[in-house]
Amino acid sequence: MDDKKTTPKAYNREKLILSLSQTILTIILIALFFFTETSQKTQIVLDENIPLWCDTTGFCWQHNYVVFLLFIIVAGILEAVLTFPISFYAGFIIEHKYNLSNQSFTKWLIEEGKGILIGGIIGLPILTVFYSCLLIFGNSWWLPVAGFLFFFSLVLSRLAPIFILPLFYKITPLENKELARYLESYCIKLGIKTQGIYAFDLSKNTKKANAAFTGIGKSKRIILSDTLLQEFTQEEIATVFTHEAGHMKLGHIWQMLIVGGIVQFGMFYCIAMTYGNLVTQFGFTSLAEPAALPLLALLSIPLGFIIMPLQNMFSRELERQADTFAIQTTKNKESFVSTMEKLGKLNLADNTPNPIVEFLFYSHPSISKRIQLAKK
């Protein structure tokens, strides 16, 4: 464990095992919830205890929506409680075990709670639209739902840097004016327009370093973690910055949104066709019966797992393009190499992962491959 050569591998191995364990446990819990008829019993209890509000046609839409939302909340709470030990170990214990976390248990709990709350606020309109489409469109529900989610992802990409990220991090313009001018010179050289270059206080949670290109349209900006600004030289920060600028210059955000949208339409179509057949086989009279919805999850999770390697492959290609862009822009492959080595060390990355693990789970090329690209 103390061997520096094995510590990153041990850390990443534990994280991967925990992530897979949580996914498998979630599938088992959903299956038990459905096949033990707990979902049907939950729906019956809610139906009996929620008053009916029916319109003149006799359709009790308010009752149906309330039962649906309460059903989702009950199922969500059960899943969260039963998977909490794994979530806690993966998100808190492991990070402290490898000396990566700066969070106390209270702060970790607050951040987790904040994430759940924001997720709930964002998820409410999505769930409402999804259920409306089940009621109105029947087996064709997948088309309007996929279309809405694509539109929603565009809106979220536009608003996230302004309204959502600040809820989790303090985001401020770069205080180092010399560095700001240095990085802005790259923007001018590349003809890139942003709403600014910002720092965010990642150190409140972790010792890891990170950077990101966020937003679309007038909200697009590049954010650099305070850990990155503290630990890296000006040339190394420029390397990270131009990598993120490469994503912007090469239109990667739009490519990810469009490809993601296409994949989403295909996934929802496959799920809808299978779900429509299974619902009748299990004796349900409507696609919109809350008790039948665990079937959707049982179809979605494995299908998502199958598609994930293809999405990761596409993501790795975009990252390679951004790396190439950064090396060609800075004309400083030595800084690129030292940047990758520092990132690997700070983030406790496995520089040479198992090729199968990299193919299945890595959205970025491994550190060793990124360094190899620069040296070529």
Which pLDDT score, from 0 to 100, does residue 318 have?
Answer: 96
Which pLDDT score, from 0 to 100, does residue 218 have?
Answer: 80
> Stretch 339-364: mean pLDDT, rounded?
95
54 found inside a domain: yes
| Pairwise pLDDT comparison (158 vs 56), residue with the higher score | 158
How far, rounded to the nearest angstrom, does the alpha carbon of residue 229 sit from its chain's CA centroid?
Answer: 24
pLDDT category of residue 109 using cuts at 50, 70 and 90: very high
> Stretch 154-180: mean pLDDT, rounded?
91
51 found inside a domain: yes
Residues contacting residue 46 through CB under 8 Å, at least 6 positions apart: 67, 70, 71, 74, 290
pLDDT tens digits along 84-102: 999 999 999 999 999 999 9
234 found inside a domain: no
155 found inside a domain: yes
252 found inside a domain: yes
126 found inside a domain: yes
pLDDT category of residue 233 using cuts at 50, 70 and 90: very high
| Structure letter (DSSP) for residue 195 | S
Q: Tell me the DSSP string of 278-321.
A: HHHHTT-S-TT-GGGTHHHHHHHHHHHHHHHHHHHHHHHHHHHH
Which pLDDT score, from 0 to 100, does residue 338 have?
Answer: 96
- Which burial class, exposed, middle or buried, applies to 235 when counting CB atoms under 10 A from its CB (0-12, 13-18, 19+)? middle
Which pLDDT score, from 0 to 100, does residue 60 have?
Answer: 56
Give the helix/strand (H/E) hosting 212.
Answer: strand 211-214
Confidence check: pLDDT of 376 > 60: yes
Looking at the structure of the chain, the number of domains it has is 1
212 found inside a domain: no
Which pLDDT score, from 0 to 100, does residue 193 have?
Answer: 78
| Full residue range of the structural domain in which residue 76 is found | 7-170+248-375
Q: Specify the 3-state DSSP secondary structure of 137.
A: helix
pLDDT tens digits along 243-292: 998 998 898 988 998 999 999 999 999 999 999 999 999 989 889 999 99
Confidence check: pLDDT of 197 > 90: no
pLDDT category of residue 186 using cuts at 50, 70 and 90: confident
Confidence check: pLDDT of 299 > 90: yes
Check: CB of residue 234 under 8 Å from CB of residue 182: yes
207 found inside a domain: no
> Stretch 7-22: mean pLDDT, rounded?
95
Q: Output the pTM of the full model.
A: 0.88
Nearest C-alpha neighbor of 20 from the set 346, 372, 302, 310: 302
| Structure letter (DSSP) for residue 217 | G
Q: Specify the 3-state DSSP secondary structure of 108.
A: helix
Confidence check: pLDDT of 52 > 70: no
Which pLDDT score, from 0 to 100, does residue 56 have?
Answer: 54
Nearest C-alpha neighbor of 253 from the set 346, 324, 199, 321: 321
Q: Specify the 3-state DSSP secondary structure of 60.
A: coil
d(CA 26, CA 34): 12
Which pLDDT score, from 0 to 100, does residue 142 have?
Answer: 95
Nearest C-alpha neighbor of 127 from the set 199, 76, 196, 180: 76
Confidence check: pLDDT of 14 > 60: yes
How far, rounded to the nearest angstrom, does the alpha carbon of residue 278 sit from its chain's CA centroid?
Answer: 29
Which pLDDT score, from 0 to 100, does residue 189 have?
Answer: 85
Confidence check: pLDDT of 294 > 60: yes
Q: Given the DSSP bridges, would you call strands 221-225 and 197-200 parallel, antiparallel or unpaired?
A: parallel
